[in-house]
Chain A
Amino acid sequence: MKVSLNWLREFIPLEKTVAEISDLLTYAGVEVEGIETTGVDINKIVVAQILASEQHPNADRLSVCRVDDGSGTPRQIVCGAKNYKVGDKVPLALPGAVLPGDFKIKVGKLRGVESEGMLCSARELAVSEESAGLFILPADSPVGAPIRELFPADTVFELEVTPNRPDLLSLRGIARELGAITGVETTPERAFETPGKSPFLIRIENPEACPWYSGRIIRGVKVGPSPEWMRKHLEASGLRPINNVVDVTNLVMLELGEPLHAFDLAQIDRGIVVRPAREGEKMKALDGRDYELTSADLLIADESKSLAIAGVMGGENSGVTEATTDILLEAALFSPRGIRRTSRRLGLSSDASYRFERGVDPAILLRASTRATALIEEIACGVAEKSIAIEGQLPLFWWEVSLRYDRCRLLMGVWISDTDIDQILTRLGLQALGNEKWSVPSSRADLTREVDLIEEVVRIYGVQNIPAKNQGFVAPVSAVDNAYDFQLRIKQRLIDAGFFESRTRSMRGEIAPVDEAFRTAGAMRVRNPLTEDQTFFRESLVPGLLEVADYNQRMGVTSIRLLETGRIFRAGQNEEKPKIALLITGDSGIADWRTPVRPVDFFDLKAAVSGILRSRTPIEFVKTQAPYLFLGAELVSDDKSLGWIGQITPDLVRRAGLKTPVFAAELDLAALQSVTDGTRRFQPLDRFPAVTRDVALIVPDALSHAVIEQTLASAKEPLLRSVHLFDVFLDPTGKKSLAYSLTYRAADRTLTQDEVNAAHQRLKTRLVENCGVSLRE
Chain B
Amino acid sequence: MEETLKNLQQTALADIPDAADEAALETLRVSLVGRSGSVSLAGEQMRSVPKEQRPILGKLLNETRTLITEALAKRQAELVALKDAAAAASLDVTLPAAPQPSPGALHPITLLQDRVVQIFRRMGFALADGPDIDDEWHNFDALNTPPDHPARNDTDTYYLPDGRLLRAHTSTVQIRTMLAQLPPVQIIAPGSAYRRDEVDATHLNQFNQVEGLYVAPNVSVADLKGSVEFFLRELLGTETEVRFRPHFFPFTEPSFEVDAKLPGTNKWLELAGCGMVDPAVFEAVNARRGDNAYDPEVYTGWAFGFGLDRLTMVMTGTNDIRLLIENDIRYLAQFRQ
Contacts and interface: CB of A to CB of B under 8 A. Distances in A.
Interface string B255-273: 1110000000000000000
A670 interface: no
Contacts of B96: 592-593
Nearest to A578: B129
Contacts of A474: 124, 186
A28 B158 CA distance: 34
A29 interface: yes
Contacts of B220: 410-414, 469
A26 B245 CA distance: 6
A471 B223 contact: yes
A349 B50 CA distance: 137
A148 to B, nearest CB: 31
A552 B324 CA distance: 14
B327 interface: yes
Interface string A447-462: 0010110110011000
Interface in B80-100: 95-96, 98-99
B196 to A, nearest CB: 5
A463 interface: yes
Contact of A477 (B109, B126, B246): B126
A567 B99 contact: no
A527 B104 contact: no
B300 A410 contact: yes
Contacts of A492: 106
B103 A496 contact: yes
Contacts of A451: 253, 276, 278-279
A504 to B, nearest CB: 7
Interface in B21-48: none
Contact of A526 (B128, B129, B160): B160
B330 interface: yes
Contacts of B166: 506, 526
B244 A463 contact: yes
A528 B162 CA distance: 12
B132 to A, nearest CB: 6
Interface stretch (B3-11, B67-75, B225-233, B285-293): B225-233
Contacts of A517: none
A432 to B, nearest CB: 21
Interface stretch (B57-65, B211-219, B313-321): B211-219
Contacts of B257: 31
B200 interface: no
Nearest to B275: A455
B102 A498 contact: yes
A500 B333 contact: yes
A287 interface: no
Nearest to A477: B126
A29 B253 contact: no
A651 B223 CA distance: 59
Contact of B327 (A530, A534, A551, A594): A551
Given A488-B114, A593-B96, A468 B126 contact: no
A369 B40 CA distance: 138
B126 A411 contact: no
Contacts of B255: 455
Contact of A495 (B103, B186, B244, B276): B103
B95 A506 contact: no
B221 A412 contact: yes
B240 interface: no
A367 interface: no
B55 interface: no
B157 to A, nearest CB: 8
B215 to A, nearest CB: 11
Nearest to A31: B245
B126 A413 contact: no
A480 B186 CA distance: 13
A123 B129 CA distance: 57
B148 A340 contact: yes
A301 B151 CA distance: 32
Nearest to A161: B248
Contacts of A505: 206, 325
B226 A344 contact: no
Given A495-B103, A576-B131, A473 B248 contact: no
B99 A592 contact: yes
Given A464-B244, A555-B330, A454 B254 contact: yes
A303 B206 CA distance: 51
Contact of A507 (B206, B278, B327): B206
A340 B256 CA distance: 26
B92 to A, nearest CB: 10
A83 interface: no
Given A468-B225, A474-B124, A501-B110, A552 B161 contact: no
A562 interface: yes
A408 to B, nearest CB: 10
Given A451-B253, A463-B221, A470-B226, A344 B150 contact: yes
B329 A557 contact: yes
Interface residues of A, number: 89
A473 B216 contact: yes
Contacts of B197: 530
B133 interface: yes
Contact of A459 (B103, B192, B254, B329): B254
Contact of A555 (B243, B254, B328): B328
Contacts of A452: 253
Contact of A340 (B131, B150, B155, B245): B150
Given A469-B225, A491-B106, A528 B246 contact: no
A458 B226 contact: no
Nearest to B154: A528
B127 A478 contact: yes
A185 B77 CA distance: 107
A419 interface: no
Contacts of B306: none
A468 B226 contact: yes
Contacts of B225: 463, 466-469
Contacts of B187: 475, 478
A524 B126 contact: no
A454 B254 CA distance: 8
B13 interface: no
A449 B282 CA distance: 14
A771 interface: no
A561 B126 contact: no
B332 interface: yes
A337 B146 CA distance: 10
Contact of A502 (B127, B196, B327): B327
Interface in B175-204: 184-187, 189, 192, 194, 196-198
Contacts of A575: 131, 133
Interface in A144-198: 162-165
B117 interface: yes
Nearest to A529: B158
Contacts of B248: 29, 162-165
A398 interface: no
Contact of A503 (B114, B196, B327): B327
A524 B104 contact: no
A476 B254 contact: no
A552 B329 contact: yes
Contacts of B132: 506, 567, 569, 576
Contacts of A26: 245
7 contacts: A26-B245, A412-B222, A463-B221, A503-B107, A503-B325, A526-B159, A594-B98
Given A344-B153, A502-B107, A506-B206, 19 more contacts: A28-B246, A29-B246, A165-B248, A341-B148, A414-B221, A455-B255, A463-B221, A475-B184, A475-B186, A476-B126, A478-B126, A478-B128, A481-B127, A496-B104, A500-B327, A502-B327, A504-B325, A525-B161, A527-B158
CB-based closest 10 A-B pairs: A413-B220, A413-B222, A29-B246, A162-B248, A474-B124, A455-B254, A468-B226, A475-B126, A502-B327, A480-B127
